[in-house]
Amino acid sequence: MKVDGKSLETIWLQEDVLHVIDQRALPHELSIVQLKTVEEAAIAIKEMWVRGAPLIGVTAAFGMYLATIEASHSNTPETYILQAARLLKAARPTAVNLEWAVDQQLEAISKKDDLSDKIAVSKAVALRLKKEDAEVCKQIGVHGLPLIEAISKAKNGKPVNILTHCNAGWLACVDWGTATSPIYQAFDQGINLHVWVDETRPRNQGARLTAWELGKHGIPHTVIADNTGGLLMQQGRVDLCIVGTDRTTRTGHVVNKIGTYLKALAAKDNNIPFYVALPSSTIDWDLADDFSTLPIEERNSEEVSYISGGTQNGTVQVRLTPKESNALNLAFDITPSRLVTALVTERGVCEASEIGLKLLFEKK
Ligand code: MRU
């Protein structure tokens, strides 16, 4: 997408150094950070310099490429590569795109005998996954656009009010975003719209990242505290909700940023469509209805007890809660498929169910 007139993606390779937008610094500073080793790629994922399911996957794919280069300095290159895969997979547990990308790399690498061929193939896989992610996200927008268009027509061109949670924008992917792709494409076609941006405590991906993205594209938006959405829905000020996901079961249950479930409940109660946009790389084909095996990330409780913001001296963190109070930081929740109006994928819009997904992705 364009930032101040210049085209920008979230990740690129330059002379075997991975460059990523450092999302910790946004919205106060657009800072690019270099990742030179697989260990640095794993840290960037774990500490959320990069985040969002699709971008986590693409970063891990490039991390595997860096690992194959590093393996040439090891006496046991095969073991080195397997250890790197384990390191990357352990960086964040919930986004299924992470293991999806690393497993594709392992499969391609294992088919080559010479290390130079392993290096070449893993570079090709990483570049392919990056390119495909941008294309797939664009297609999600193509399929999601008519949903917004229909509401716009029904409202005779009055602004379509869209509520989104967290950041499922281009910063979470390579380009376009998932939930934001239909929004960008609708806006670019001249549809009158406005986005309610959930701040998304505790890390405030909505307030910091989605608001920044939408602002750079000139899209009218308003940041709201997480608890505001329900009232806005009761007041008739939300026409549709659209969010992303980190893992969707093959039966259509949606794991996404903590707080998504509450928005889906409120949307159901108020008869408001609740859409989930996702690339097929986010579908967990092994998981049906048994949530006990579903990895929900628990992050450091300091993300809850502290809050950060920009000052003239850069980003600072201040304590929010009493020192004596415990804090719990569960990063994702599960929205049952019955609360999801439809899934918006690169192949089209479908029911959030096993049949719906099968009809679109028969081959898998
Ligand atoms: O913890 P995060 O910021 O990585 O969580 C991101 C989300 O929950 C997104 O909605 C999801 O990854 C989809 S991104 C296109």
Residue 150 CA to ligand 1 center (angstroms) comes to 27
Kindly report whether the global pTM for this prediction surpasses the value 0.75. yes
Q: Which atom of ligand 1 is nearest to the CA of 331?
A: 1
Question: Which residue from 139, 208, 256 has its CB within 8 A of the most atoms of ligand 1, so it is best to mutate?
Answer: 256
- Please determine whether the domains at 2-132 and 139-360 fall in the same fold group of CATH: no
Report d(CA 344, CA 357) in Å as an integer: 10
Question: Which residue from 164, 246, 282 has its CB within 8 A of the most atoms of ligand 1, so it is best to mutate?
Answer: 246
Q: Which atom of ligand 1 is nearest to the CA of 282?
A: 13
Residue 111 CA to ligand 1 center (angstroms) comes to 32
Helix axes 77-89, 53-71, angle to 10 degrees: 160
Residue 247 CA to ligand 1 center (angstroms) comes to 10
Report d(CA 9, CA 285) in Å as an integer: 29
Residue 116 CA to ligand 1 center (angstroms) comes to 35
- The Cα diameter of the chain in Å comes to 68
Instruction: Calculate the CA 359 to chain-centre distance.
Output: 24
- For the record, the structure tokens of 53 come out as 């399911």
CA-proximal residue: ligand 1, atom 8 (nearest): 257
The per-residue pLDDT for 313 is 83
CA-proximal residue: ligand 1, atom 10 (nearest): 244
The per-residue pLDDT for 61 is 98
Q: Which atom of ligand 1 is nearest to the CA of 166?
A: 10
Question: Which residue from 166, 204, 208 has its CB within 8 A of the most atoms of ligand 1, so it is best to mutate?
Answer: 166
User: Would you give per-residue pLDDT tens digits along the chain (364 residues)?
Assistant: 999 999 999 999 999 999 999 999 999 999 999 999 999 999 999 999 999 999 999 999 999 999 999 999 999 999 999 999 999 999 999 999 999 999 999 999 999 999 999 999 999 999 999 999 999 999 999 999 999 999 999 999 999 999 999 999 999 999 999 999 999 999 999 999 999 999 999 999 999 999 999 999 999 999 999 999 999 999 999 999 999 999 999 999 999 999 999 999 999 999 999 999 999 999 999 999 988 889 999 999 999 999 999 988 888 999 999 999 999 999 999 999 999 999 999 999 999 999 999 999 986 5
Ordered by start, the domain boundaries in the chain are 2-132, 139-360
Residue 26 CA to ligand 1 center (angstroms) comes to 16
* Pick from 288, 291, 301, 286: nearest CA to 331: 301
Residues within 6 Å of ligand 1 by CB: 51-54, 95, 166, 168, 172-173, 177-178, 205, 243-246, 256-257, 331
Fold of the domain spanning 2-132:
Four Helix Bundle (Hemerythrin (Met), subunit A) (1.20.120)
Report d(CA 94, CA 295) in Å as an integer: 5
The per-residue pLDDT for 363 is 62
Q: Which atom of ligand 1 is nearest to the CA of 169?
A: 15
Residues in a beta bridge with 257 = 332
Residue 197 CA to ligand 1 center (angstroms) comes to 14
Pairing state of beta strands 160-164 and 240-243? parallel
User: Which residues are catalytically annotated?
Assistant: 246
Q: Which atom of ligand 1 is nearest to the CA of 137?
A: 15
Q: What is the pLDDT of residues 103-135, one digit of tens each?
A: 999 999 999 999 999 999 999 999 999 999 999
One of 3.40.50.10470, 2.40.110.10, 3.40.50.10540, 3.40.250.10 is the CATH number of 139-360, namely: 3.40.50.10470
